[in-house]
Each structure stands twice: as C-alpha cells, then as structure tokens.
Structure 1
Amino acid sequence: MKTYFNTFILCFLTTYCFAQLSVKNDAYIFAKDALVFVEDDINLDDGTTGTDSRFYLRDEAQLIQGSGSTGNSGLGKLSVYQEGTVNNYAYNYWGSPVGAPSSDNNINAEFSVYNVLNDTLSLTTNTPAIIGTSYDGTSSPLVISNYWLYAYSPGTDYSEWDYIGDGTSIPAGYGFTMKGSTSGPQLYDFAGKPNNGDIFVDVAAEQTTLVGNPYPSALDAYAFIHDVDNSNMTGTLYFWEQDPTVNSHYLTDYIGGYASYTITYDPTANSGTGAYIESYLAATFETLGADGFPVNGSPSGTGTNASKSVRRYIPIGQGFNIEGATGITGTQQVVFKNSHRHYEKESSIDSQFFRANNSNSSSNLNQNLTNNSQEIQYNADGFQQLPASTDIRRFRLNVDFNNEVTRQLLHNFTPSATNGFDYGLESPNKSPNPRDSYFIDGTTPYVTQAHAYDIDLTIPLVVTIDQDMPLRVRIYDVQNFNDESIYLHDKVTGIYYDLTVLDFNTNLDSGTYSDRFEITFKSEETLTTNEFEDYSFSVFQNNTISQLVVANPESLSIDSVSLVDITGKQMFKKTILSNNNRYEFSTKNLSDGVYIATITLENNNKLSKKIVITNK
C-alpha cells in the first residue's frame, strides 16, 4: 500500500512504518527524533512539476528502507543535518546520504558538493552553500573551499587523488574530502534524493578506496564488514585524523594518520555464549612529506596518539577508507545494503561522527528494528570491556619513540582465532611510519593481531626506527589475564621484562629489528624457578649497605652473576670461580633505579630478578 501526503505530517513518535511513501506538491514530512521505516520506495513530488515536496529528518531522526525493489524518485528533497568536526585547516572524510534529485527510480543519483550541500537557515529552509576558490571556508555565510575537494578510488599513491572541486559528480557510496570553516565545527544540510538499496563501490587488491555511509541512517559496521558479498576487502575500516593544533594548508606541515576499526562475533567465546569483539586503534600522528607519506626523522609534534574514536554504528555522512583484499584480481566490488542500515543516534555511545572521544557519553539509546541482547560495553578509557572470561583476552602495547611518536598495537585472544589472517579480528598496518612497531604474520605487518591463547605462544614484535633514539614499550588495557605475567623478551640480552610490572626502556640504533623482540607468557625464570626454590636460593638488594646479595645455601654451581639496567645496558658480569653459599656485589656506584639481576648456573639455567637500588 502506498501512503500519500498532500499536506504535511509531523513525526514525533518513536517509529513510523510505511509500505511505500509519496509526498506530493508542496507537502512535507517533518520527522523529529524518530525512526521512519519504509519497506519499498519513496517518491518526493510524485512526478508533478512542483519541486517543493520535502522530507525533513531533524534531531537525530533517521530513515531506513526495507527490501523493496523499487528505487526512490522525484524532484523533491530529503534534508538531513550533519556536523563537520574540524576547522578550515583540516579534512573531514565524508559520504553523502543523498544524490541529486531525479525522477529516475532505477538508480541512486550521483552527487557533487555543488548540488547536495546547503547552509541552514531554519529547521525547514536552507540555501545552497557557496563554493569558493580561496583556501579557507567560512561559516556565515557558508562557504566551502573547492580547493580541498577530492575523491579516491582505488589507488595506492598520493598522486591518485581525484579532484572534484570543479563540480565533478561521484556515484553514491564513494566518499570525498572537505575542509571545515574558520569557526570550527560546521553544520551542513545534505538535501537531495535519498539513497536506497544496494550501492556498489570498486576495490582492488591492496589498494585503497575512499567510501562513505551512503544512507540517511546509521550503518552497522559489523553487518557491512561480514556481509558474504564483501569478502573482497580486508575487513578493516580506516578513518583519517589530523592534529587540530596545526594551522597550515601546506602538506609538509600536516600531522595526521589513520585510525583503524574492525569487529567480529565469535560464537565460541565467553565459555560458548558468544561475544562481539571490537578492535579500534587511534591514529598515530606523523608529519607528512610532499608525497603524502611520513617524513623520515620528523617528529609528530604531539607526543601522544590521536583523540578521536570509532564505534560500531557509523553515522550519517561519515567517510572512511577500505582496502581491497590481497589476491583479488582486477577491479572487484564491495556493496552497501539496506540490511546494513541501523537506527542508532549519535547521542548514543555506539555511534559518533569521527570526533573527540568522550567516554562519558550517554548510555546506549539504540532502537534498532531487531533486538540485540549482546550490546558492546565500554570501560572508563573508552575501550570495549570484554566479557569476563579467560578464553577471550586482550592487551594493548604503547610503543614510544623518543617521547615524540606513539604507535599503539592491539592483540586479541579468542578461541576462533587461527595462525593465519583472521577477518574481522586483525588489521594490517595501512600507514607504516619511519619509526614504527607492528606484529607480523609472514611478511604482512599488523597493528591488530589475534591468536587463540596459549601460554607457550610467542608473538614477534618488529621495531623500525630512522635514527638513534630511546624506545619505550608500555602495556595497557589488559583484560582477562587475571594478574598473569606478559613479558617482552629481548633476545639480545636474554632478559624477560614483565610489562605488567614495569615498562621496557632501551636505546636503539637506527634500523629494523625484526628478530630481537617478542611477547611471551613464560620466562626462563618461570621455567627454572622451581629448581632454585628447591634449594632455597634467593637474590635480593640490601640498600642499607649498597650490596646485591646472592644467597646460595646449597652451594649450587654458579657460572656467572650479571646486572643490567632497564635499558638493557650491562652494569657488570661476574664469573664465579668457586662455589660459596653467599655472594655480595657492591652497587654503591650505581644510580638509583630498577635493575635486572641474572644468575646463570653451569647447566645454563637462569634466574632473573628485578631489584630496586636506592643508595642512601
């Protein structure tokens, strides 16, 4: 049944459902804080000569359409607001929920910034945005600089950006870049024919395509990523962020990077009850060169990771990058579908336009058409709080380079993970930097990796740096390890550092360290402590007399005693020539701090113990 509106309707309830919807002449629909669901098509103006019929989505109202096969049509317009989050010097990545008005119901119309973006005058009136030629956009009146309007599909090099500032139209589903206005966050009115149905975008192996949520509703990242027709991509979504403190239009001044997001559902996790596993990593800021890649030797200038966050439900207008899967041939496609659409408000913690993280967001206001009994929960740091089950674990590593750049890595543990690539659980490193760290599988670097947990597992950790500098590794967001140790093993020094107790610090020469560091869950001390304990063997620091004491009551055959600081620098190594029941070593000339004492027996078993030296 088709529903006609010849005057107007105000939608203030929670949900409105229609089989078909037609708005004629100068009538309009005004939906406020509500879901409007239409099973089949929408016609705005119903083929008449007037162009005044309107469909307004306001105060987080959204439109979802069902499985009907008829496309939307008409010369009237659906209007929906979205707010950009950057100033005139930084990019937002966008997608358009509407195309140019068209009476053709067989296609989703192409769009350009010239024909869908408007300045807001009142709740029901707007005026087309002015497309200017200067470098800076303004808010009053709304002027969009055409200098920064680009699309990208698909490619690998900076030179492959496609300029669309001349009014070039792009198909529904593709994204575009646009800088903001001098006032900062800017409200835009997207007005045109609402997109509907299957929307295809091109991908190619290991190449990037800039896409965007093409619907006037939120998009479920899980449904999009795990659609059986979307195996042509890697399963990770990448979101651009720039340092908002850098006020420059010069590419060589830009400081930015890509956040990564993926999600999966493991029915075997959480003791067989199942669990969603969401993997998000903030952008690592780096200075960019004229070729668009990070500059060798250039610090980020921030000292920290970026501050924005991504959640499962992608808001209206949000743009992001996808990457074609390794091994696909030629140009393949990825599809957006109505079944991926979801009613999730941006005031919910689960759906936010890519903006500054606020872990104190309101509780989930989800009013989806289906019941989701396993909502993702978040902790005080804004990360997913996993169900309390030891078969599903995770930790993050913060790898700090000279206190200037931090690469954050995430490792998931879940029963379904394999030793190969796990779609929805792992994210390749899209933007390697001159100073970087990553997990590795074969030759592929990962910023997010997954395994089934095994206490005997070793996880290689690669570090690459462009000049001599200090390196620090910190652990963060440790979940469901229940006070178990997580070690960084430095295979050069042979020392295991329990990251849950102290950070790892060292100084490295420039180069790539692909076989020096690994994450383990057992140390040599773990393997040999029982032998030492059987003989009441002990190592301790006596700060009163500034001595390292090794108590050996059973006179075990000791080969050597060594002491290193937390950077791995050796303070001394003493070869033991005779068996005694006690050894004492002066620490009077050492600086206060944390050290690692290692006792090696003649059978090559070792005991490493952390000591704290405080010289009075």
Structure 2
Amino acid sequence: MQRILFKSLKCGLFIFLITGINFNSNAKSILYSTPISKSEGIKAFDFLLFNSSGDGGIVNSNQQICAGTAPNDLTLASYNGTILYWERSDDAGFSSPTSIANTSSVLLGTEIGNLESTTYFRAVVEAPDFSIVYSEYAIISITSTTWNGSTWSNGYPTSTTAAVISADFTTSGNSFSACTLTVNNNAIVIISSGDDVTLEGGLTIETGSSFTLENNATLFQIQNQSMNVGTISINRDSSSLKRLDYTLWSSPVESQNLFNFSPYTMANRFYSYNSDTNLYNVISSPETTVFDIAKGYLIRMPNNHPSEPTVWTGTFSGVPNNGDYYYTFFDGGVGQRFNLIGNPYPSPIDALSFIDNADNSNSITGTLYFWRKSNGSSSPSYCTWSSLGFVGNGEPEVYDPNGVIQVGQGFLVEGTGVSNVVHFTNEMRTNNHANQFFKVTNTIEKKRFWLNAIGNNGAFSQTMIGYMTGASNGVDARIDAKYINDGSIALASMIEDTPYAIQGRGLPFDSSDIVRLSFSATNSGNYSIVIDHSDDFFANGQPVYLRDLTTGTIHDLSLGAYNFSFTAGTSSDRFEIMYQLPQNLDIPVFNASQVIIYKNLDSGFVVDAGNTLLKDIKVFDISGRLLYEQKDINKNETVVNQNLLNDVLLVQITSIDGVMVTKKMIY
C-alpha cells in the first residue's frame, strides 16, 4: 500500500520518516496538505501522497459554447478508484483551482452554471493504492470573432462563436450563424434579401450602430431566454397593390407605432378587427397607438401610392421580438370567435407547428384566413389555409403559402370556445424564404382537387375537397375550413348544414362517396364550375363528376367546365360531386340537338356545343366539298371567322370523346 499519512503533533512539530520517495523535479509523487474533510479518515491539515502514476480517467468531452450559457453535462470515464471531488480552473495548469463538491462520475451542466470565459474541468480521484490522481481535463471553450471591415479575426462565425461586427458589413448570399451577435463602433450592418442571421443567443446593437433586415431577410433565434438590446430595422414589401388596397400587418419588433410604420396612410384607414360584430373598426388615434405583439391590423396603402399595382415597402423599427408570446383573444360565443392575430417574429413561422402547439390545438380551429382582396374587385376578401391545403380567391397577387406565415403577416383565426389564448414559440420559427405573403416535404397522404366557380362578370370563388390521412367525413379540426367570404358568388362543400372552403374526407378513398356542394350568387346569370387543378390520382385519371340535380345532368369535369344558369340566391341541394356513374343511369349522349349554330356580328358564325367539349369541326358545301376545318378546339364554343359564300352549309362537329354529329345551316 502506498498510502502515507502524517498527523500533525499537538506540540506543533512534525516528524517525517519517508523512505523510497525522491522529491526532485521528476518526482512521480508529491506531499500534499489537504483541506478536505469529506474523505474517510482524512482531516484538515492531514498530509496525503498524491501519485500521478494512477489512472484518474478521462472527462468527456471538450465543448465549445456560447458565453453566458451552461455546457452539457461532463462525464468521467475510464477511471480506477473513488471520486473525491471535481475542480475547475481558468488555466490548464490548474494553478488556482476551485473545488466542486461532487463525488459522482457526472458533473451536471446545471451545476456548472453559465460560463463567460473558457474554463477547464477535471476530477480528483483516490486510486486503489490510496494515492490521489487527477483525470485528464476537459476544456469548455468560449470563442469570439470580430469583423474589422475586411476579415473575421477568428474565422467565419459559427453557432458556438460570439460574433462582433465593428465595421460596415453587408451580406450577399452569405447567411451566417453565431452564438451571439454584437454590432458596435458605429458599424452599419445590412442583411440582404434571401439571407439569414441565425443566433443561438441574443442580439445587441450598440448606440450609433445599425442593423437592417431587407425584405425577405430573416433574424432566426433559438433560445427563448436570450435578450435582445438595441433597435433594428426590418423592411417588408407588400404585394403589388393599388392606392386604395389593404394589407393585414403584424409587427416583428417591440413598440412600433402604427402611423410611423405607414405615415402616408390616411389617419382614418388603420383598423382593428371587432370579433363581436365581425367587422373592422377604425383606430381612433394611430399616431399614439403601437402594434400589440401578436395582434394583426388592417392598414390601407399610403394615400400617395400609385393607382396601378405597385409594391410598397414598410419599415418596422424597434427591439426584435424573441421567445414565448401569449395573446389573449375575444370569445363572444359561436360565430363571434374570429380574431385577427399575426406573426410576432422577425422570421417566418411554420403554420403546422403553430396550429399543432398544445395550447393552440385547444384554442383555435386550425384554419387560417389571409386577406387578399383588391379594392373594387368582386373576389372574396380572404384566402383560406388548413393542413389539407390552400384555397385562393382569384386575385393575381395570391400564391400558396405552403404552410409558411411570413414576417409581418397578419391573419384571422377562429376560437373553439375551449380557451381564448394563442401561444407563439421559437420552436415555430423557420428560416423559409417563400413568396412574400404567400409560394415542405409532406409525408401525409393527400388526394385533392380544387373547383372554381366563375361568373361572366369576373366573379370568382374556389373550394377544395381532399382525401387525407387523419380526416373523417365529419368536421375535423386543423383540416376542415369554414367558408367565411364575402364575394358576389360562393362555391363551397357542405358538412351537415355548414359550407366549407376546404373539406377533408376519410381514407381509404371510396369511389361511391358523394359530396354535397353549396352555391350562391348575388345576381342571376350564367355561371360555370371547373376543376382548377388536382393532385395524386385525381390528376391521373380518377373521374370527378358534377351532378346537377335540377337539370338531371351528370358532367365529367375532366372534360371541361359545366355551364349553368342560376337565379340569385343560395342553393345547397342542387349540386353534388360523385366519382362513379350510377348503375343503369341513362346519361345524355352528345347529339345534334345540343349544338347551336348562329351568325356573329362579323362575317362568320359561332358553334356552341353547350356542356360538351369540341375536338374539331369541318364545314362542307351541299356537294360535300370541304370548305373549312378547325382542329384541337378543346372548348365548348368556337367561332368560324370565314366568309363562306354558300347558301347551305353542312357543319360536322366532333366532340372530345369522339362522338360526331352534323348540323345543316343556311348561311
């Protein structure tokens, strides 16, 4: 046994009798007076022989972390003996170590706490021969790099590097990550469109310096508790809108004044949403009103904006929002739970993460409504999104958001009545650069088609029906989206007695399924229903039939639009969607009586085949001589702009499904 312990004598004298130990510079052992009293049999002022030849083990593992954060847990491995305690030091030589009273093989990061500088850690072990040995140390490194105007002092920043920008800096396709970011020395920092700054921790903008996110640039932060200090600017482009058009906005910074955001908007054209009346109320004093965090506002374009569609850039200025936000919304009962909220962050958020949040899945239905109406148009005001997909409103500036809520974006949600709080978290944030306010790998099975209703006056409405994993034929939160729009026509699908802009149906798909449609129009006239687009097997041959229960017609929408006349009002029992023809049903066959031929105002004539798509037409004289031919028409109406100098003509019409009929006309 190599344990050598010397007790101090009461008289204050020490007697040393040590044999076989050489105390020179190459000594393997040292005599050490220990202050430790926790080890069995060792008291203050006792002396121990520390033997570095023992196996103290290895501390796993070296780490590089952000300043002001705690490291991951440290673990001692491959040691032989008993752990007496741990030590930390500012230097690798442990010249002035600090003891940590932990006898476990794991030193928790929470025990270590937040570190501000590089620190070394090791364990002190009593070996089986009672000598004291040290483990190999682990280094917890905290590094920084500074931009001086031409280069980074310690390499390009990473997620574990504290970045300092002390001279002007503009990104150009070079997004970067950092542990924290400080801008000082009057530096001007510009993050260009499409670039990101991703920070584990906080952002500090010192007085005299500036930090600007151009349109579609993002500040993406990970840690909720990180504090941001100083003002940044965030530029956001509107869609191409006209002077009297509106946008729903939400501020990504603290304390943004409404009027300062859009100073040329008329003071009576800033609105908040009144959930009690489902109308927009004028904000009485936008000059003294700031954006509430996570609340949406309807703001008209500046009054000096062009009357032609043009992009307008607004600038948010303030401390960037970060971390958890809870927004309490109004609940006035059924029909009075629609609330206008918005993305609170200087980065996009993932819509699925937002609606799937444990708090939000109880408090809101899971449908998001986006304002997209142009002034003076007959289109509906809102586009609709659910986890099944997106339904537009026919406006030219509308794109599918693909589940991304952009920076500055306001939107409507409907409460469920269970809770009246929505929760925003950093986990919802994403650095997606989709289209501005609207254009994800999806493992959920979706089979969908979109139907448009179109009026001769340009009226438009869209609905979507899809068969989706997790859906049922009843009402499904997150999937089914109520129709709430205000256009001059409305096409929707019905669940019980309620119209839906988006309806999910259960899988597996059953071709005998029937979906009832609702249609309304403020004016009597001629309208059409047509497939806008489809996916999965609806795009690969699965028929979609529209049945008109008033006329008895069943029309294959894959062949083209169904045209019909409609008296002003609402009908929820005239149309239905089906996927197979009823047995023993006598389907009307294309015949000559369905074709109308009439002269137009010019020298030609019009061939109108009703609901049947035309493939081609041929015009013969009475002797059978071919005078005119038109191929690949693919419409139900075509014009023959020919001055055919014959009294009697024979018009041979071939439908798209190959049925041929001949009509005689006197020209």
In structure 2, what is the Cα distance between the partners aligned to 1:59 and 1:434?
34
Q: Partner residue of 2:10?
A: none
Instruction: Look up the match of 2:364.
Output: 233
Q: TM-score, normalised by structure 1?
A: 0.62
User: Contact 1:468–1:508 (CA<8 Å) still a contact in 2?
Assistant: yes
Find the counterpart in structure 1 of residue 646 from structure 2: none
Match of 1:410 in 2: 464
The 3 A distance-change label for structure 1 pair 226 and 444 is same
Matched, 1:310 2:400: yes
Matched residue of 2:584: which SS? helix
Q: What is the aligned residue count?
A: 438
What is the CA deviation profile of residues 508-528 of structure 1, one whole-angstrom value per residue up to 9, with x for unaligned ones?
A: 33333222221111223xx23
Amino acid at match of 1:230: N
Determine if contact 2:406/2:436 at 8 Å carries over to the other structure. yes
Could you tell me which of 150, 157, 164 is aligned with 2:278?
Answer: 157
Q: Which amino acid aligns with 2:286?
A: G
- 1:428·1:446 contact (CA, 8 Å) conserved in 2? yes
Deviation string 1:338-363 (CA, Å, 9 cap, x unpaired) is: 11111122xxxx33235xx8xxxxxx
Shift of 1:197: 0.9
Structure 2 CA distance, aligned partners of 1:261 and 1:611? 43
- For residue 7 of structure 1, what is the aligned residue in structure 2? 166
1:463 aligns with 2:617: no
* Cα distance between partner residues in 1 of 2:592 and 2:527: 30
Match of 1:337 in 2: 425
What is the identity, as a one-letter code, of the residue corresponding to 1:237?
L
CA positional deviation for 1:24:
5.3
Higher normalized strand content (fraction of residues): 1
Distance 1:60 1:219, change over 3 A: same
| Counterpart Cα distance in 1 of 2:466 and 2:314 | 38
1:490 Cα deviation from its structure 2 partner: 2.0
Q: Which amino acid aligns with 1:98?
A: V
- Structure 1, unmatched stretches of 5+, are 46-50, 101-110, 118-128, 132-136, 138-143, 247-252, 265-276, 285-304, 358-373, 377-386, 547-564, 569-590, 596-608
Q: Shift of the alpha carbon at 1:225?
A: 2.3
* Alpha-carbon separation, structure 1, partners of 2:220 and 2:182: 15
Deviation at 1:316, TM superposition (A): 1.8
SS at match of 1:500: helix
Partner of 1:40: 201
Secondary structure of 1:614's aligned partner: strand
**CA–CA distance in structure 2, aligned partners of residues 308 and 200 of structure 1:** 29
| CA shift for structure 1 position 229 | 1.9
Letter in 1 for 2:292: P
Aligned to 1:281: 391
Contact 2:459 2:487 in 1 (8 A): no
| Cα RMSD for the two superposed structures | 3.9
Determine the structure 1 residue equivalent to 2:547: 489
- Structure 2 counterpart of 1:463, which letter? F
Is structure 2 residue 449 aligned with structure 1 residue 395?
yes
RCO comparison, higher one (Cα < 8 Å, 6+): 1
Q: Give 1 or 2 for the bigger CA radius of gyration.
A: 2
8 Å contact kept, 1:489–1:519: yes
Matched, 1:97 2:232: no
The aligned counterpart of 2:237 is: 83
Does the 8 A contact of 1:566 with 1:594 survive in 2? no
**TM-score, length-scaled by structure 2:** 0.58
Provide the C-alpha distance between the structure 1 equivalents of 2:432 and 2:483, rounded to a whole number of angstroms.
Answer: 29
CA contact (8 A) 1:212 1:319 kept: yes
Note the 1:76-475 alignment, pairs <5 A: 76-85=230-239, 86-100=241-255, 111-114=256-259, 117=261, 131=263, 137=264, 144-152=265-273, 154-158=275-279, 160-181=281-302, 182-183=305-306, 184-203=310-329, 204=331, 206=335, 207-231=337-361, 232-243=363-374, 257-264=380-387, 277=388, 279-283=389-393, 305-311=395-401, 312-325=403-416, 328=417, 332-345=420-433, 350-354=434-438, 375=441, 392-433=446-487, 435-452=489-506, 453-475=509-531
Q: Cα–Cα, structure 1 residues 88 and 490, in superposed 2: closer, same or farther, change >3 Å?
A: closer
**Superposition pairs of residues 506-585 of structure 1, within 5 angstroms:** 506-524=564-582, 527-528=583-584, 541=591
For 1:124, the equivalent position in structure 2 comes to none
**Alignment-mate amino acid for residue 339 of structure 1:** E
On the 8 A contact 1:399/1:408 being kept in 2, the answer is yes
What SS does structure 1 have at the residue aligned with 2:268? helix
How far residue 477 of structure 1 moved from its aligned partner, in angstroms, is 0.9
8 Å contact kept, 1:90–1:179? yes
When residues 228 and 208 of structure 1 are mapped into structure 2, their CA distance, relative to the original with a 3 A threshold, is: same
> Are the counterparts in 2 of residues 485 and 521 from structure 1 also a CA contact under 8 Å?
yes
1:68 and 2:227 aligned: no
Counting aligned pairs with the same residue, the percent is 25
Which residue of the other structure, out of 46, 56, 59, is the alignment partner of 2:212? Answer: 56
Distance, in Å, in 2 between the alignment partners of 1:615 and 1:478 is 39
User: C-alpha separation between the residues in 1 aligned to 2:215 and 2:278?
Assistant: 40
**2: CA distance, partners of 1:171 / 1:319:** 12
Q: Is the partner of 2:546 in helix, strand or coil?
A: strand
Q: 1:68 to 1:39 in 2, by over 3 A?
A: farther
**Whole-Å separation in 2 of the counterparts to 1:540 and 1:65:** 63
Shift of 1:412: 1.0
Conservation of the 8 A alpha-carbon contact between 1:84 and 1:180: no
